[in-house]
Amino acid sequence: MSIIVNLDVMLAKRKMSLTELSERVGITMSNLSILKKGKAKAIRFSTLELICEVLECQPGDILAYKE
């Protein structure tokens, strides 16, 4: 898949753990793990909005396109 998920990079920049993000966003750890590993097939706008809100970033900081 050519869409890269940079969630781990953003978490490192914000010095936040996956567990904390999970608690603040309200998404299960297993789902966040799927997203972080790039195994997810799709992401809802609502989920993306919540993650961006908590991490104080833009969708482009989390998702990137790589050929």
Partner 1 sequence: MNQQDQDHGVQSIDILIFIFQAMKILIWISLVMSSVLIIVTLIPNEGALKNIVPPPNFVVYFSLPEELGIVQWGDGNTTPFSIVSALGVIKTSFAPKGLVLFYSFMTILTTLLILFSIIFTIRILKSVKKKAFLLVENAVRLRWIALLGIGIYFTDRITSTVTSSQLSKYLQFPEVDFTGINFFAFLNFESIFGSMFLLVIAEVFRMGAQLKEENDLTI
By the criterion CB under 8 A, which residues form the site for partner 1?
A: 27, 31-32, 34-35, 39-44, 47
Based on CB atoms, which residue is closest to partner 1, 16 or 27?
A: 27
Based on CB atoms, which residue is closest to partner 1, 11 or 32?
A: 32
The Cα 31–Cα 20 span in angstroms is 14
Phi and psi angles of residue 32, each rounded to the nearest 5 degrees, phi first: -65, -35
Residue 35 CB, shortest distance to partner 1, in Å, is 5
Please give the torsion angle defined by the CA atoms of residues 10, 36, 3 and 50, in that order, rounded to the nearest 10 degrees. -60
Residue 59 CB, shortest distance to partner 1, in Å, is 13
